[in-house]
Chains A and B, each alone.
Chain A
Amino acid sequence: MTEEILQQDLKHIKLPDGSIEKTTTTLNLGPTHPATHGVFQNILEVDGERIVSSEATVGYIHRAFEKIAERRPLYQVTPLTDRLNYCSAPINNMGWHMTCEKLLQIETPKRVDYLRVIIMELARTADHIICNSVIGVDSGALSVFLYVMQYRELIYEIYEEICGSRLTTNIGRIGGFERNFNATAWQKLEKFLNEFPKALKEFENLLQRNRIFMDRTIGAGPISAERALNYGFTGPNLRACGVDYDLRVHTPYCSYQDFDFKIPVGTTGDVYDRWLVRNQEMWESLEIIWQAYQKIQEFKGQEAEVYHANVPEYYLPPKQDVYTKMEALIWHFKIIMGETDIPAGEVWHSVEGANGELGFYLISDGGRSPYRLHFRRPCFIYYQAFPELVKDSMLADAVIVLSSLNLIAGEMDA
């Protein structure tokens, strides 16, 4: 009797196929969600609290960088690279300029390399500050975020002194920097180096041996080294699995071989290991910045004024000359608008970005803009592993794993 009534009722209701037999709930960890830092969507099948499977949709901020870059001469591509991993924009800029220098066969003087190292390590620190504090925020510890974001402001002030802009820096030129670091920049750098270690120690003390944080993060989203390598993991996520692959040591670029630093490596590749690896990397970055600062102070006299390589065909002339002299104005116009042709060739260069190996593949056919420019974006590649990382774990763990992977949507969708 009840079955007949049930059949009658069901005739009016249109249910999707298989939805009565289905035992899992479909949950949309949507593009707009406080826990997904950036716009990507995960459709999770959950059985109670356990995740059975998940499917990701990306592309919600696809801005067609590669297509835009085919239209733009080399200098005009730098603002595009800024917006890849916008938390550590200088690393992207330097990586792009190093790719161009490789193609144009320009060698940068040592002082320029050391200055670049300082800026890149500051950017790496800034990115890890955000990532680690956001892991704290996602597990409920909101105050740590406010403690360390203050120091991002100090880093922004240093960028402002050098290039004028805070976040999307467009810093540097092909061959060096646009201006020498002035005394204020060095003062600000010293202030940062003196004050940040105390704040970092406080941040560490709040979270590292905190029982609640350890319970939340240990064992959440582990991955073995073989699977991580198969998934193309690079950067802190891979180092947390135990593989000590760091491009700064493996294929040193920009005189990294002159610096003495360690590579922190984890064991299980879970969220706690990633947090620890990033934390220790911040300490190592501070060490590198100190060493670079001391090495720069050893340059005396004429050498202390060097801030770019001597390549007038590709280095924009100084602004005082551009506004007063005719030749400088003409060179400036020619270089920016792409009237000087790029030599033909194909070059691959990669740098150790804050979340992995950021690669640039540039094919030039001798015209004014690249024929094909491809960015090897680490976020895009390791986000594929997310279903495997969260299989059979709780919904809350999925949130923590997402934020520990340091996914930046701008880089993922390019």
Chain B
Amino acid sequence: MGLTNERIRERLVEKFGESATGFSEPFGMLTFEVPKEMNLKLLQFLYDDPELKFRFLTDLQAVHYPDNKGRELAVVYHLHNLTDNVRIRFKIFTDIENPDVFTATRLYECANWMERETYDFFGVNFVGHPNLKRILNVEEMDYFPMRKEYPMEDQTRIDKDDEMFGRGGTI
């Protein structure tokens, strides 16, 4: 019969009760939300459980919602159960003022650089990360570029004329 989304949902509600909320299945992938303190407990549970067996971290990244006050940064984890071929996605939301999230590096080695990239782009502070430095941008950069308030272009360039590019203004 295999592992279905309903079964995963049952097990999660059984273990975490009210903490696992927001269940939905966009395009067949079970998506839910947990409070940010529980992300390691959830990852450990999904890893150890002999029925659920989510032992492959496919992806870890963040999304910035500037309009949800108090829940601006969402960190999204994609997990994959290789033996039963099931994927799930869960999100944790954190405040932009104190974006502290526990790190998953002790459980998954691949989370190391994925968390550094998330820190570099969004400023999510992963507590317990062995080496939380900027990875893709220049080390001296002092802002988090993927947040919605920052523009894509480099504001200090002088040779591209914005009018020609349809962006209005002069340089």
Binding site for B on A (CB under 8 A): 58-59, 62, 64, 66-68, 70-71, 102-103, 227, 229-232, 243, 245, 250-251, 345-348, 350, 357, 359, 361, 363, 371-372, 374, 376, 380-385, 413-414
Contacts and interface: CB of A to CB of B under 8 A. Distances in A.
A384 B87 contact: no
Interface string B123-153: 0000000000011111000000110000010
A250 B145 contact: no
Interface size class of B (residues with CB under 8 A): 20 to 34
B58 A345 contact: no
Nearest to B148: A70
Nearest to B76: A361
Given A67-B145, A250-B85, A348-B87, A359 B59 contact: yes
Given A58-B136, A67-B145, A232-B57, A348 B108 contact: no
A291 B156 CA distance: 54
A361 B61 contact: yes
Nearest to B82: A245
11 contacts: A59-B138, A62-B136, A64-B145, A67-B146, A227-B109, A229-B82, A230-B110, A232-B109, A372-B64, A381-B110, A384-B110
A107 to B, nearest CB: 13
A359 B76 CA distance: 14
Interface of B: 26-27, 29, 31, 55-59, 61, 63-64, 76, 78, 82, 85, 87, 89, 108-110, 112-114, 117, 121, 134-138, 145-146, 152
A59 B109 contact: no
Contact of B26 (A346, A350, A385): A346
A414 B55 CA distance: 26
A316 B60 CA distance: 34
Nearest to B110: A232
B26 A384 contact: no
Nearest to A383: B113
B61 A68 contact: no
Contacts of A232: 56-58, 108-110
A231 B109 contact: yes
Contact of B58 (A62, A227, A346, A376): A376
A301 to B, nearest CB: 35
Q: List the 10 closest pairs (A to B, CB-CB), nearest first.
A: A232-B110, A59-B136, A62-B136, A376-B59, A374-B61, A372-B63, A230-B109, A231-B109, A384-B113, A67-B152
A64 B152 contact: yes
A382 to B, nearest CB: 8
Contacts of A413: 136
A384 B112 contact: yes
A245 B83 CA distance: 10
Nearest to B61: A374
Contacts of B112: 384
Nearest to A251: B85
A58 B136 CA distance: 6
B-side interface mostly: mixed
Given A67-B145, A361-B59, A381 B87 contact: no
Given A67-B146, A348-B89, A357-B58, A380 B76 contact: no
Contacts of B29: 348
Nearest to B31: A346
A231 B113 CA distance: 10
Contacts of A59: 134-138
Contacts of B78: 348, 359, 361, 376
B26 A359 contact: no
Contacts of B135: 58-59
B53 to A, nearest CB: 12
A347 B27 contact: yes
Contacts of B152: 64, 67-68, 70-71
Nearest to A230: B109
Contacts of A103: 27
Contacts of B134: 59
A384 B57 CA distance: 14
Nearest to A350: B58
A381 B115 CA distance: 11
B117 to A, nearest CB: 8
Given A58-B136, A67-B146, A361-B61, A229 B114 contact: no
Contacts of A227: 109
B132 to A, nearest CB: 14
Nearest to B121: A66
B55 A229 contact: yes
Nearest to A226: B55
Contacts of B26: 345-347
A371 B134 CA distance: 23
A414 B114 CA distance: 13
Given A58-B135, A348-B87, 10 more contacts: A70-B152, A102-B27, A229-B56, A230-B109, A232-B57, A250-B82, A250-B85, A348-B27, A361-B78, A380-B113
A230 B108 CA distance: 5
B56 A345 contact: no
A384 B116 CA distance: 12
A346 to B, nearest CB: 5
A73 to B, nearest CB: 14
Nearest to B24: A346
